[in-house]
Chains A and B, each alone.
Chain A
Amino acid sequence: MLRQDINELLTQTGPGTPMGDLFRQYWIPALLAEELPENDSPPVRVKLLSERLIAFRDSEGRYGLIDEFCAHRGASLWFGRNEGSGLRCPYHGWKYDVTGQCIEVPSEADNSSFCENVKLRAYPLVKVGDVLWTHMGDPAKRPDLPEFEFAHVPPEQTYTSKRWQQCNWLQAFEGGIDSSHVTFLHSGGLKSDPLFKGAKGNEYNMKDTKPFFEVADSEGGLFVGARRNAEEGSYYWRITPYVMPAFTMVPPRGDHPLHGHFWVPIDDENCWTYSFDYHPGRPLTAAERQAMIDGHGVHSKNIPGTYRPMANMDNDYLIDREAQKRGETYSGVAGIAMQDASLQESMGPIVDRTKERLVPADSGIIKARQKLRKAAIALRDEGVTPPGVDTAHHRVRSAAVVLPQAESFLDSCRDAIKATPGVPHSSV
């Protein structure tokens, strides 16, 4: 359980809140690069950390992320004309560049300097991998660009999707470090999902439904090791890295790609779940990429033209009780992503953590909350840069290994949990 004041501290990310300030220390995903596919493509409304913004790509290919509303009369620039190296409000023709600087006010006299004094709030928008990242904090403290491996391998080796999740970011994120639910909720997927099935590790997963856990600090966050019995004298370990504030990876299975998530607050009752797959050592096969597009693995099948899952709370996630009875799915909801989302959203927009009954197996969640709370308070009170800002902290990988019983996963997997270009990932 959490005290109500701590729950509020961790779940509120708007401007001026401690967690909001914490998120503003990092580069975070703002949108997928595919959303601004070409110069002068239509602008996109973006709400992040409870701020309404508009993203656009100008005639020179520069990306901009600026206040959604025109400084003149407050009209949404989503209706704007993206042309001639700027975004023009269609109401009275005020025009802005990618820095938010007003560059034309047609009603003013020619050569007037009026527009020089009109500037909308703007944040940088930078493409790294398939994602457009932004930093919404103090420009003087802007860190280096993110170095997560999924965003740096060649394009043919990686795939990223996103989906709208209708709940607070924290309860979505907590699913990412909760290894114990896999044996139940995702048991159907271990047998049938094209991006999960066939791995030797799945057999260990299914045979031992009561994993043991080890939770250890890392420089950027945590490593959570889930241990199950393997052959005599050995354990099967699944190692989940967490990099603050909201990056998690799922331990791999066989030669399937690695995958993971970035959980980004839209506002306090909605978040974006960015889901990625990548293979450090080879291009994704056509079948793998198609499976991702089709919503398998950690991805979702979205309503065409949107990032809202086709299975969502308005249609009860298309629950299929017959498939549940047949054992095809454990909860009746199809797909790993929506199995998670359906339960996380069912908790309500912001789960009341004063009513939880946690158990020792939830120690990863307990520890992650503690790290977030401490980092937010240290930033607020002493200006301490939080873990995960340093790009060296980004170079982690998940791993799945079999080790002799006496060995520590931290000692034995030092190389396996480090992202090293060109080095294959460790997976069973």
Chain B
Amino acid sequence: MSSLPMYASESAKAASASESRYRITVPIAPARNARVIALDTRAASVARRISDGPWANARFYTCEAAPDRGPADEFLLYRLDGVPAALDDMLRDTDVVVIMATDDSGGTRAAAIGSACSARAITTAGVVLGDGFEADDAVAALRPHARVLLLSADESDAFELLRALRV
């Protein structure tokens, strides 16, 4: 009886077009429980536009500085329908936070949210939208915390990022 060759090359079969039809196909459940936070007015507009997407678990928020001139990193969160939200509640059971900015006005808040996410081991991504670099401070504030910073002139990148992440 002849022995098998040293390399039986199962991988060669597995990589063929005809073998591809034997891949196990089961529906992929959304894996991410995402929160999307818009740091400034234009970012909030983008968040409103993309919030109508086919999202399973993603929730969208706006973020404003506290009006009573508290510490610079104090801020208020709102759902898109205007209902206030608490940071702790928002981050509970979340595994990815996408922070969107279009200018520098939210730089301090970006750092505070990023820090809160880091402390909770929540993956953070930053999407900075704009042609020029109107959001340098926001980028710098996010840099220590955001696993990824996507600097783009194309608003649809935010949508595509969320879709690719299956949120």
Contact = CB atoms under 8 A, between A and B. Distances in A.
- Note whether A and B form a binding pair: yes
A217 B153 contact: yes
B85 to A, nearest CB: 22
Interface in B16-34: 16-17, 19-20, 23, 25, 28, 31
Interface string A340-367: 0010011111101001111111110011
B11 A360 contact: no
A362 B149 contact: no
Interface string B117-141: 0000001110000000000100110
B147 A361 contact: yes
Contact of B125 (A217, A313, A317, A363): A363
A346 B11 contact: yes
B148 A363 contact: yes
A395 to B, nearest CB: 21
Contact of B147 (A1, A316, A360): A360
B125 A212 contact: no
Given A315-B7, A346-B11, A361 B148 contact: yes
A314 interface: yes
Interface stretch (B56-64, B100-108, B154-162): B154-162
A367 B123 contact: no
Interface string B55-98: 00000000000000000000000000000000000000000100
B15 A166 contact: yes
B143 A212 contact: yes
Contacts of A369: 160
B151 A214 contact: yes
B9 interface: yes
Nearest to A407: B140
By secondary structure, the B interface counts as mixed
Interface in A90-116: none
Nearest to A347: B15
Interface string A150-185: 000000000000000011000000000000000000
A315 B5 CA distance: 10
B12 interface: yes
B48 interface: no
A318 B9 CA distance: 10
A110 B96 CA distance: 78
A313 B140 contact: no
A230 B20 CA distance: 43
A370 B151 contact: no
Contacts of A346: 11, 14-15
Contacts of A216: 151-152
B149 to A, nearest CB: 4
B160 A360 contact: no
Nearest to A2: B164
A269 B160 contact: no
A350 B12 CA distance: 14
Interface residues of A, number: 45
A405 interface: yes
Contact of A1 (B20, B148, B154, B163): B163
A215 interface: yes
B164 A213 contact: no
B14 A367 contact: no
A2 B160 CA distance: 9
Contacts of B153: 217
A349 B16 contact: yes
B80 to A, nearest CB: 22
A364 to B, nearest CB: 9
Contact of B154 (A314, A315, A370, A410): A370
Given A215-B151, A357-B166, A352 B23 contact: yes
A167 B9 CA distance: 17
B46 interface: no
Contact of B15 (A348, A366, A374, A408): A348
Given A360-B148, A405-B144, A316 B31 contact: no
Given A346-B11, A348-B14, A360-B124, 17 more contacts: A166-B15, A167-B15, A212-B146, A214-B143, A217-B151, A313-B15, A316-B9, A319-B7, A342-B11, A348-B23, A352-B20, A352-B23, A357-B31, A362-B164, A366-B157, A370-B157, A374-B154
28 contacts: A166-B15, A212-B147, A212-B149, A213-B147, A214-B143, A214-B150, A215-B149, A216-B151, A216-B152, A217-B152, A314-B9, A315-B7, A318-B7, A346-B11, A348-B17, A348-B20, A349-B16, A350-B17, A352-B23, A355-B25, A357-B28, A360-B123, A363-B161, A367-B160, A406-B140, A408-B136, A408-B140, A410-B151
- Would you list the 6 A-B pairs with minimal beta carbon distance, nearest first? A360-B125, A216-B151, A360-B148, A316-B7, A214-B149, A313-B12
Interface of B: 7-12, 14-17, 19-20, 23, 25, 28, 31, 96, 123-125, 136, 139-140, 143-144, 146-154, 156-157, 160-161, 163-166
